[in-house]
Homo-oligomer: A and B are copies of this chain.
Amino acid sequence: MKTTEVRLGSRSYPVFVGEGILARLSGLLTRLGFSSAPVVVSNPRVFKLHGDSLRRSLEAAYGPAPVVFIGDGERFKNIASLQKVYQGLIRAGADRRSWVLALGGGVVGDLAGFAAATFVRGIPYVNVPTTLLAQVDSAIGGKVGINLKQGKNLIGAFHQPSAVLSDIGTLRTLPSRELASGLYEVLKCGVIRSEKLILYIERNLQAILSASPSALEHVVLEASRIKAAVVSSDEMEAKQRMILNYGHTVGHALEAATGYRRFKHGEAVAWGMMAAVGFGRELGLLEEKSAQRLLRLIHRVTKLPTLRGISPGRVWNALGRDKKFAGGRIRMVLLPRLGAAEIRNDIDPANLKRFLKNFIESSSNI
């Protein structure tokens, strides 16, 4: 088991990464100072896979823990599920000394974290992410929330967890498409901060995609370190944290323009990174060799869902609604070189619009 840390003064917390963490949970939690059973939030699919292991660990330390189930999937990240968690907390007799443990992917973590952020004005929560995407991205950094029908994450808070416990073993049961999708967020971490991580993925791609524990532990730990460092330097996304959005400006717009049905999040980010590479290349930012290298690796990870049939106009409109836009000016993360990102506020909208149309049309044939 390896550790990294999100450093935010009195709200600092560890991120544990390793195989078999679920089985050793009670020791970790008692060392973190938790002396009573949590209210567990999960979904039935995840709990069927890992619930027994979690339950055994928790019971050994605290006796039985109540479990609240929410539906499986992004569409359940809503106010109705939130109310279900609130009612579960009430039923469990929760008060200010209670705490929440989230077992699942990003939906469970974000929603359980938001419930914890708002129950009696905030109680602690521990995140036990069970997908690659959640382990390297959503579980770290304290962004919690739910969706409205008008958009994702429109309601939320910053509420840092007390710990993130990433059991690599849970990734073995992950569908291969989920694993590949999550790997694009890992790759993004390398792209913005660590050329070494890019190199590792290039050299160990097959091991990662076949869920080799040592390869997964390595990439989860490295990506977690990068995310933790960025969040430590800018919790509230005043500036630096925005670099984590590399590939997300276009990625989010592609997801929205296709009703969140065609792409897994990481797949949309992969397309978004390709768009950002292409746009950066046009601006003369990234040298050709690095651009080619990154595009090659993105294509090697998996065959992405096509852009065919997506209307550039709808993508452009979705871009305008994206929260990353500030005051009509377009902000985008671009790469001066691999392993380094910079936030640009000077993007000419007309230029980006024209580029995007070409990008979607020329990529539709892939």
- Contact flags (1/0) for A121-151 with B, using CB distance below 8 Å? 1100000000000000000000101001010
Partner of A97, one of B86, B145, B327: B327
* Top 4 A-B pairs, shortest CB-CB distance: A121-B156, A90-B150, A118-B155, A121-B157
Query: A158 to chain B: which residues have CB within 8 Å?
Result: 121-122
- Give per-residue flags for A307-326: 1 if the beta carbon is below 8 A from chain B beta carbons, else 0: 00000000000000001011
Distance from A81 Cβ to chain B, minimum over Cβ atoms (Å): 13
Q: Report the separation of the CA atoms of residues A119 and B118 in the bound assembly, to the nearest whole angstrom.
A: 13
With CB as the reference atom, state the residue of chain B lying closest to A151.
B90
Given contacts A95-B323, A96-B326, A327-B97, contact A148 B118 (CB under 8 A): no
30 residue pairs from A and B, CB less than 8 Å apart? A79-B79, A79-B83, A86-B148, A86-B155, A90-B148, A90-B150, A95-B323, A95-B325, A96-B323, A97-B326, A117-B157, A118-B118, A118-B145, A118-B155, A118-B156, A118-B157, A119-B154, A119-B155, A120-B153, A120-B154, A120-B156, A120-B323, A121-B143, A121-B145, A121-B156, A121-B157, A121-B158, A122-B157, A122-B158, A157-B157
Q: Which residues of B contact A119 (CB under 8 A)?
A: 154-155
Cβ of A150: which chain B residues have Cβ within 8 Å of it?
90
Could you say which of A119, A120, A326 has the most chain B C-beta atoms within 10 Å of its C-beta?
A120
> In chain B, what residue has the closest Cβ to A114?
B118
CB distance from A117 to the nearest CB of B (A): 7
Please give, as numbers and ranges, the residues of chain B lying within 8 Å of A96 by CB-CB distance.
323, 326
Task: Count residues on chain A whose CB falls below 8 Å from chain B CBs.
Answer: 27
Residues of A whose CB lies within 8 Å of any CB of B are 79, 83, 86, 90, 95-97, 117-122, 143, 145, 148, 150, 153-158, 323, 325-327
Interchain nearest-CB distance for A98 vs B (Å): 11
Main secondary structure of the interface of A (DSSP, over half): mixed
CA gap between A104 and B156 in the complex, in Å: 25
Taken together as a complex, chains A and B put the C-alpha atoms of A205 and B156 apart, in Å, by 45
Residues of B close to A326: CB separation below 8 A = 96-97
Query: In the complex, what distance in Å separates the CA atom of A157 from the CA atom of B119?
Result: 8
Which residues on the B side are within 8 Å of A145 (C-beta)? 118, 121
When distances are taken between beta carbons in the complex, the residues of chain B under 8 Å from A154 are: 86, 90, 119-120
Select the residue from A96, A121, A148, A156 with max chain B CB neighbours within 10 A.
A121
List, in ascending order, chain B residues with CB within 8 A of A156's CB: 118, 120-121
Besides A118-B157, A121-B157, 13 other A-B contacts (C-beta < 8 A): A79-B83, A86-B148, A86-B154, A90-B150, A95-B323, A96-B323, A118-B118, A119-B155, A120-B155, A121-B145, A121-B153, A122-B157, A122-B158
- Report how far A153 CA is from B120 CA in the complex, Å: 7
Closest to A237 in B: B121
Residue of B with least CB distance to A117: B157
> Looking at A143, A145, A155, A156, which has the most chain B CB atoms within 10 Å of its CB?
A155
Could you tell me the distance between the alpha carbons of A27 and B295 in the complex, rounded to whole angstroms? 54
Residues of B within 8 A of A90 (CB): 148, 150, 154
In whole angstroms, how far apart are the Cα atoms of A150 and B86 in the complex?
Answer: 10
